[in-house]
């Protein structure tokens, strides 16, 4: 565990112009134990952050700086809110000076570099760092994260599907059929990022609903790899992502066939017990169902377990804010753990409703 | 078949103040063979229709009239865009004078009155008319509809699920497992109607996504009954409806396990052939996926067939405008058939995009 | 007036990949007297139009073609749904072969080439054609349009402001102070076009409201020039455009100070009489107010005249669909007039509500 | 000033089921110096607050209680988030026991009871309390608020218009013509509250823009009365509210004619100086314009001053979150002041963007 002196942790952000970047800024600017010291963007060098993100006026005084000026090695931790491939190019240098790394892209999510290369169309340039990196899903890897130097922060879809299935698969339980799992997932548009693209224009995405990524989505191998790690066996999951006309929010409807020998299981109790001590996982009472606005702007993930007509199909409903628990909030949760801070430091925002 | 003289069909609408009512008015006011002669609303007696629905100014000159003034028995056909229970109370009288009936509510959707009574919490008051009524899904029942006097116009969800599964189940085919079907459905908010309710306020439903009706949705028994009629055997379907923050549009993601003996089936060809002659069912080319805006305001239903990794799970994606093919458009399609008109008369609108 | 033979008018569209392009396609594919023969896009050469715009599947069979293959000179009329500057480069050649031109961009909107050059940052390359062109606002220039070979189709904002003020200014009337006019205008996001830009992403424009273009908007000089032409004197108008989180629709709130000598005017009657014979301008009854959805997808423009407390300030509220009456619908209305067709041919769609 | 002991202030809320109620709960549950002790609702007696507002799960453990059980007189302060007329019926009893009152409805906004009665259609039942009440716009009445026992929390529209015009009118300045002021205001739908009404259904309010309240809006006399108090003279303002399809946010575009003698005024500097010490009023740099999302979920109000072409018309643009600075946040700001707490205690949330 790192030493969290009574001074604040020095934090740097690489690539803060996207939505995970601005969300990190929102959270870290209110964090009682963190001090933002640098935020880099080659393109926006010199631009005050608040000029790009007017919500930060009065809260963040920093300007973007070109990477070479940023002195990231003076930071205690650096977040990478960058495209895939950037963190792995810089991690080694930072680690060498004692700076920790939390990557919000995919560079440290997949231990199998061949799989990484197939889905992300680039070679993995630093397998050594990858080997020591930890998959940053706190509720699954708390112990390892607290000792980690490098974190691969999970994808948004994986966070919901993994936490929705973990209680059913952990420890090699034979509760559900692991060969016929289905995750029908729905995401708000901010998940696509702040890139100028026709498909996510307001006039294209508003008042519309569609599936996408059917030939294959990059989060699919990430989910499967982690599920297999959790269950200790082969897992086959069908994953269908859809796009919802809302900015934030993710809703996953997960279908699992109950094994004949597990029909007497009290699944509600199973989930409640599994997450009883988790500050950011809320298992809803039996009979209720979640909605995405119940977590808008907060780091909470809510789960409901349904078993229609007490039959053989279990339905797990999971909601989160894709930019918070699905990205920046989870990254801060990892940071807290890595530096021995209270896990919820800076993450106690109440969701905004309506 | 009724005589469609060269004069126009006289049309009445009972209960035209809801969304299916205004949509009927939009379509019928442009229909080349229909003449709107009466639209009833006890509460709005005397109010010009265009005062309630400003889009109709310049297109519909009628005023609402109290039911007793409306002389519905002079009509060739009467549409019921009313709450459940109204059509069955008035159908007999209309039929007696030769007026046909198309009910957009549930009174004539379920042949089993016990099932009707369980789900709609009211006794069925006219089982005789029910017995002769025809389920108005044209692509399944064209012949019977053309001779019918009473139509039970299908629910919105059932339309998508039935047309999405029919090619797989018709004629007792053993292509997919009928015991593990899943329909993960998403609907725009207009499906909930124009009732003053908190749950469908803009500030509740906007920027939000949720599942609902998990204890059981009224469209579930309707879907199952029709699927069993189509397949000739028992069917078990899990049905999970969700609410999407958009006004119009329905998207159903249907999952079916391919039977071991059917793995060589060309499902794309199967669907294309089944619907080759259907004016309002569009099977998309292999590899593409539908979006709801492609049918916004039109009577078209679009289907895509997906089989990820050529595996054992078939995914059928179906979109429609819930107020058109899912309600008023389908009702007009039924009317056209009943009166020997071209099936697409008054229904050739191009969807509005963006 | 052109000869409209009993065969259909041959229509070409240059640059049909934007929103005014797809809207032209929607309208023209249903037009009883028009035949789409070519639609050009260098970038999308060969791509079926319906692959880009899935709403057109089953309605438009054309593919985009590179301009040089398109044989536009065989057309009776060519619409330019292109960036500014394209129509003026090609108009002369088309006119030479008898093909008429309707430009939906700004090339033929401003008679003063110095003003054009200042606002559009390019020289005007064909002042001769400009000189003979007609400003295509039918309700103001019907006679000239019917004889025109080249039309400058009005901007969306100008259409609302000009039709909202014309009855007050025409013929040098001294009804309102022409030096203190204010137009507070609100537009749906589709007005910004289908360009890949961050500012109009769903995640930027949704759930947000802002003013824009305050240093000066290109429609400002167009409005002023036309108002001065209408009134025959100098006009000073303040114009503030705002962006509304909706796809289609434009709402203009226009403020005009009533002249002391005009206080007894019946403004409601003035507007009703002015537009009594106009098919696409609807003056609402006194006391009612318009909403944009009442014209969604239709060519109608609706106006309401308000005079709070019978005071000295007149408020004119105007709504239109920015893509129809504000762009493609108006262009078709111009075409109809130029070819001696009924003015509403192909333009009788009822607005979609809800 | 009240004594703020080192124990927390005991807070009660009457009528917490509406949007201002849930927003008070969100803010107060995170307030370092407040303790929620009671929240009343006769209708929801016994229901855990978090069952109605799922965002509060894990943050608020209270249940609604019937008013008579609530022991509001034990509270240090009671907020009324009720319909108009409730606070004035209960204020006297609370004040008698030393409990302070902050009313978020209109009971203590208008000092002229005749005006109150005309607009709110009820007699004012406690003119004595009204006489001692203070209009709770901190930036105008800080001194009086800090000593007040009863606060009339301002309406949402008035907050924007008053802070937008105050620098121009205070102290009898002759900077702008006070007889021709115009406020063209746009509000998100949550301003209409959580009442079950057709007009604010998602399917009615989404994808739509309209003006409303043109015959006269209740906030109009409130604005005028305060403007006259500020300026010390008669003021005539035209006020046109509009409804924007977004949940939260208010945007006011205010037009004021510059007096001939004031043409040399540096209006940007005037506003900057006026609000230099205000924590929750942000004057934007010259040339920039505000957007509502920059304050979503925060208590900040942002102002931009525009003078097109250095002419005679001044345009002031103001944004706020109507539920925070326009309602609950402002109420908490008042509470802080009344109890000698730092003005921003519990109000330092960063706005959520995107």
Cross-chain residue pair A353–D22, CB shorter than 8 Å: yes
pLDDT greater than 60 at residue B5: no
The answer, for B142 touching chain D at a CB cutoff of 8 Å, is no
DSSP for B234-271, please give it: ---EEEEEEE-SSSS-EEEEEEEEBPGGGTT--HHHHH
Query: Which chain B positions have a beta carbon within 8 Å of C206's beta carbon?
Result: 207
User: According to the model, what pLDDT value does residue C6 have?
Assistant: 57
Overall size of chain B counted in residues: 354
Cross-chain residue pair C354–D204, CB shorter than 8 Å: yes
Token pair listed for D141: 């009445």
Cα A343 from chain centre:
15
User: For residue D79, what are the contacts with CB-CB under 8 A and spacing of at least 6?
Assistant: D11, D12, D13, D14, D24, D102, D103, D104, D331, D335
Residue in A54, A248, A293 nearest the CB of D291: A54
Residue with tokens 């009898």: D172
Cα distance between residue A192 and residue A215, in whole Å? 17
Task: Identify whether the C-beta of residue C327 lies closer than 8 Å to the C-beta of residue C160.
Answer: no
Cα distance between residue C56 and residue B353, in whole Å? 9
Residue among B329, B92, B354 at smallest CA distance from C188: B354
Task: Identify whether the C-beta of residue C147 lies closer than 8 Å to the C-beta of residue C1.
Answer: yes
Name which residue leads in pLDDT, C71 or B95: B95
The answer, for A206 touching chain C at a CB cutoff of 8 Å, is yes
Task: Identify whether the C-beta of residue C253 lies closer than 8 Å to the C-beta of residue C239.
Answer: no
Cα distance between residue B36 and residue B60, in whole Å? 9
- The CATH number assigned to the domain with range A157-320 reads 3.30.360.10
User: According to the model, what pLDDT value does residue A70 have?
Assistant: 87
How many Cβ atoms are within 10 Å of C188's Cβ, its own excluded? Answer: 31
Which residues on neighbouring strands pair with residue B63, listed in sequence order?
B48
Residue among D252, C52, A238 at smallest CA distance from B288: C52
The answer, for D55 touching chain B at a CB cutoff of 8 Å, is no
Lowest mean pLDDT among B160-164, C66-70, C204-208: C66-70
Residue among B82, B84, B91 at smallest CA distance from B106: B84
Name which residue leads in pLDDT, D38 or D215: D38
Residue B75 appears among annotated catalytic residues: no
Write out chain A in H/E/C secondary structure: CCCCCCCCEEEEEECCCCHHHHHHHHHHHCCCCEEEEEEECCCCCCCEHHHHCHHHCCCCCCECECHHHCCHHHCCEEEECCCCCHHHHHHHHHHHCCCEEEECCCCCCCCCHHHHHHHHCCCCCCHHHHHHCEECCHHHHHHHHHHCCEEECCCHHHHHHHHHHHHHHHHHCCCECCCCEEEEEEECHHHHCCCCCHHHEHHHHCCCCEECCCCCCCHHHHHHHHHHHHHCCCCCEEEEEEECCCCCCEEEEEEEEECHHHCCCCHHHHHHHHCCCCCCEEECCCCCCCEHHHHCCCCCEEEEEECHHHCCEEEEEEEECCCHHHHHHHHHHHHHHHCCCCCCCCCCCCCCCC
pLDDT greater than 90 at residue C192: yes
What are the helix and strand counts (H, E) for chain C?
11, 13
User: According to the model, what pLDDT value does residue C5 have?
Assistant: 47
Token pair listed for B96: 């007696």
Output the CA–CA distances (angstroms, integers) from residue A165 to A22, A158, A176, C352, in the order listed. Answer: 30, 10, 10, 43
Output the CA–CA distances (angstroms, integers) from residue C53 to B160, B249, B295, C165, D181, in the order listed. Answer: 22, 17, 11, 36, 47
User: According to the model, what pLDDT value does residue B341 have?
Assistant: 97
Residue in A248, A296, A350 nearest the CB of D30: A350
What are the helix and strand counts (H, E) for chain B?
11, 13
For the segment B226-272, what is each residue's pLDDT rounded down to a tens digit?
999 999 999 999 999 999 999 999 999 999 999 999 999 999 999 99
Cα distance between residue D143 and residue A202, in whole Å? 46
Nearest-CA distance from D333 to chain A in Å? 17
3-state secondary structure of D332: helix
Token pair listed for D212: 């409303």
User: For residue A96, what are the contacts with CB-CB under 8 A and spacing of at least 6?
Assistant: none
Q: Which residue of D has its CA nearest to A208?
A: D207
B9-153+327-339: CATH class: alpha beta
The answer, for C52 touching chain B at a CB cutoff of 8 Å, is no
For the segment D237-288, what is each residue's pLDDT rounded down to a tens digit?
999 999 999 999 999 999 999 999 999 999 999 999 999 999 999 999 999 9
Task: Identify whether the C-beta of residue D194 lies closer than 8 Å to the C-beta of residue C276.
Answer: no
Cα distance between residue C169 and residue C175, in whole Å? 7
User: According to the model, what pLDDT value does residue D6 have?
Assistant: 57
For the segment C80-121, what is each residue's pLDDT rounded down to a tens digit?
999 999 999 999 999 999 999 999 999 999 999 999 999 999
Residue with tokens 């993960």: B184
Cα distance between residue C176 and residue C178, in whole Å? 6
Overall size of chain C counted in residues: 354
The radius of gyration of chain B from alpha carbons, rounded to an integer in Å, stands at 20
User: According to the model, what pLDDT value does residue D171 have?
Assistant: 86
Cross-chain residue pair D253–C203, CB shorter than 8 Å: no
- Across B60-88, average pLDDT: 94
Cross-chain residue pair A293–B255, CB shorter than 8 Å: no
pTM of the model: 0.97
Under the banding of pLDDT at 50, 70 and 90, the label for residue B1 is: very low
Mutation choice for C interface testing from D183, D245, D310, D353 by most C CBs within 10 A: D245
User: For residue A286, what are the contacts with CB-CB under 8 A and spacing of at least 6?
Assistant: A268, A305
Cβ burial, residue D307 (10 Å; 0-12/13-18/19+): middle
Q: Report the percent of chain B where pLDDT is more than 70.
A: 98
Peptide bond connecting A104 to the previous residue in cis, omega within 30 degrees of 0 = no
Query: Which chain B positions have a beta carbon within 8 Å of A211's beta carbon?
Result: 251, 253, 289-290, 317
User: For residue B200, what are the contacts with CB-CB under 8 A and spacing of at least 6?
Assistant: B189, B192, D201, D202, D203
User: According to the model, what pLDDT value does residue C2 have?
Assistant: 44
Q: What is the mean pLDDT of chain B?
A: 96
Long-range contacts of B65-72, Cβ-Cβ distance < 8 Å, separation of 24 or more? B65/B38, B65/B39, B65/B40, B65/B41, B66/B40, B66/B41, B66/B42, B67/B14, B67/B40, B67/B42, B69/B45, B70/B12, B70/B14, B70/B38, B70/B39, B70/B40, B71/B38, B72/B12, B72/B14, B72/B38, B72/B40, B72/B99
pLDDT greater than 60 at residue C1: no
Task: Identify whether the C-beta of residue C102 lies closer than 8 Å to the C-beta of residue C78.
Answer: yes
Sign of the alpha-carbon dihedral angle for C98, C102, C103, C108: positive
User: According to the model, what pLDDT value does residue C349 have?
Assistant: 96
Cα distance between residue C203 and residue A23, in whole Å? 13
Cα distance between residue C207 and residue A245, in whole Å? 11
User: CA torsion angle for A13, A15, A16, A20 (degrees, to 10)?
Assistant: -100
Output the CA–CA distances (angstroms, integers) from residue A119 to A108, A259, B101, C126, in the order listed. Answer: 13, 32, 56, 52
Residue with tokens 């073609």: C65
Torsion angles phi and psi, residue C302, rounded to 5: -120, 140
| Number of CB pairs, chain A paired with chain B, less than 8 A apart | 121
For the segment C126-159, what is each residue's pLDDT rounded down to a tens digit?
999 999 999 999 999 999 999 999 999 999 999 9
Q: Residue ranges per domain, chain A?
A: 9-153+327-339, 157-320
User: According to the model, what pLDDT value does residue A100 have?
Assistant: 98
Mutation choice for B interface testing from A185, A186, A208 by most B CBs within 10 A: A208
Cβ burial, residue D103 (10 Å; 0-12/13-18/19+): buried
Cβ burial, residue A215 (10 Å; 0-12/13-18/19+): exposed
Under the banding of pLDDT at 50, 70 and 90, the label for residue C3 is: very low
Annotated catalytic residue, options C75, C126, C156, C185: C156
Q: Which residue of C has its CA nearest to A354?
A: C207
Cross-chain residue pair D203–B200, CB shorter than 8 Å: yes
Name which residue leads in pLDDT, A69 or D9: D9
User: According to the model, what pLDDT value does residue B172 have?
Assistant: 84
3-state secondary structure of D282: strand
Question: Per-block average pLDDT, block size 10, for chain A (354 residues)?
Answer: 65 94 97 96 93 95 92 96 96 97 98 96 96 98 98 98 98 93 98 96 98 92 98 97 98 98 97 98 96 98 97 98 98 98 97 98
């Amino acid at each position: 565990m790192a030493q969290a002196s009574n001074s604040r942790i020095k934090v740097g952000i690489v690539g803060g112009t996207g939505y995970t970047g601005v969300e990190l800024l929102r959270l870290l600017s209110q964090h009682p134990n963190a001090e933002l010291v640098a935020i880099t963007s080659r393109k926006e060098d010199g631009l005050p952050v608040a000029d790009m993100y007017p919500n930060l006026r009065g809260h963040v005084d920093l300007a973007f700086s070109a990477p070479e000026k940023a002195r990231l090695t003076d930071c205690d931790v650096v977040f990478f809110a960058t495209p895939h491939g950037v963190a792995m190019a810089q991690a080694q240098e930072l680690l060498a000076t004692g700076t920790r790394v939390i990557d919000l892209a995919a560079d440290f999510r997949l231990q199998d570099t061949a799989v990484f290369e197939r889905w992300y169309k680039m070679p993995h340039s630093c397998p050594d760092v990858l080997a020591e990196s930890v998959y940053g899903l706190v509720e699954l890897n708390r112990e390892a994260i607290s000792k980690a130097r490098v974190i691969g922060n999970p994808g948004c879809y994986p966070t919901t599907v993994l936490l929705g299935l973990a209680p059913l698969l952990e420890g090699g339980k034979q509760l559900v059929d692991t060969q016929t799992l289905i995750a029908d997932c729905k995401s708000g548009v901010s998940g696509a990022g702040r890139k100028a693209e026709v498909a996510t224009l307001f006039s294209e995405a508003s008042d519309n609903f569609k599936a996408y990524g059917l030939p294959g989505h990059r989060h699919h191998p990430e989910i499967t790899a982690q599920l297999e790690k959790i269950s200790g066996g082969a897992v086959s999951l069908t994953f269908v992502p859809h796009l919802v006309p809302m900015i934030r929010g993710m809703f996953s409807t997960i279908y699992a066939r109950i094994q004949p020998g597990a029909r007497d299981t009290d699944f509600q109790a199973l989930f409640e017990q599994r997450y009883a001590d988790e500050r950011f996982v809320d298992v809803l009472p039996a009979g209720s169902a979640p909605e995405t606005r119940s977590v808008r702007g907060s780091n909470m993930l809510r789960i409901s377990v349904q078993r229609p007509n007490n039959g053989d199909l279990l339905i797990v409903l999971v909601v989160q804010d894709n930019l918070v628990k699905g990205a920046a909030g989870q990254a801060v949760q990892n940071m807290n753990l890595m530096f021995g801070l209270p896990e919820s430091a800076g993450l106690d925002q109440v969701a905004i409703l309506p």
